[in-house]
Chain A
Amino acid sequence: MKRVILTRLAWTLGILLGVSFVAFVLMRALPGDFAIAATGAQSVAPEVLEGIRRQLGLDRPLIEQYVIWLGKALTGDFGVSFVTRQPVAGTVFDRFIVTFQLALIAAIMSIVMGSITGLASARLRGATDWIVRMVNGVMLAVPNYIVATLIVLLVGLYFPQFAILGYTPFLSDPVGNIAGLLLPALALSLAVSVTVSENIRAAVLEVANQDFVMVARAKGLRRGAVLRDYLIRNALTPVVTATGLKVAALLGGSILVETIFAIPGMGQYLYESINSRDYPVIQAIILLTAAIVVLVNMLVDIAYARIDARVRL
């Protein structure tokens, strides 16, 4: 177990190192750089641009820049935002908290909606199955930013008294904070809930044909017990994987949904930072997102082993 965890950690570090390098190179391969973005025009004298670049170390060879960045990052110093002059770690963390809240609410919504519709679909079949699959198909085809736009438009049209844009910090108004995140979370959760729903449906249908379910019924167990201990517990493994990946994606933040609802989350911040070529911020956000994906994958594997004793880590 200890060895497994150590190997995993080594892997994780390797992955993060690779991701950070690729991100670093790609960012600088984009046309334009911070100096141009910050001054906003070509009319600025080249010496001014050069001055900015020299000051930020952008004039050095790419590899050297990366090594410097890496050296600091390894000590926990992710640098200072070119734009705000604030330490990156702090600002990104603040943004991440917002995205995290949003993702958490969206994840809960999708898991609840997806489980209910998926189970109903698989167990009741018939018309329920048909309707759920129809709705799932439609929701899958509609991107979340369309849903978000529709929500904003409809609420604005019919309930103009509700201010649904913006973000209320949790500490200043917990209820307002959560209430304000419900609609954006809904917009994010629909597509994810389809994944959960379709996966649960498929898994339950498959498990239902297994011999051990017949054995369970031959025991005289009640429907609820058969469903819980035999169907759901066995259907969980494939569902956990699919859901885990989707939740990881949610944690990375959604540029579009956060922008539409004017929520200062990580997705929106990434977008802003790419526009202003705020390299240290971009770098930190990408690294954090990668770390989240790796972490969620690890959690999924641990969940696997807990659900199914045949799985060895």
Chain B
Amino acid sequence: MGLIDYFRSSRRGKGSASVAKERLQILVAHDRAARDRPSYLPKLKQEILDVIRKYVQVDMDAVSVNYEQEGDQEVLELNIVLPDSAGPA
């Protein structure tokens, strides 16, 4: 192995563990958030959507449900975007 190859491979090496660490940090944060989320969220979202659609015609993505845990408080954030001309359906 030539000197240049040696330096190149050792630099690539440096990359691989730090890349692994970055990927893991994101992945683990993601896994943890998903784990702590109550399993009823998708159903809750669907039912809210159904109720809204009784009155206003909206898209699937008009309703977003966000769940967060802050200390020992659980915060359920509900966001509904009504269309511009939100009249009775």
- Bound together: no
By a beta-carbon cutoff of 8 Å, the part of chain A in contact with chain B is none
By a beta-carbon cutoff of 8 Å, the part of chain B in contact with chain A is none
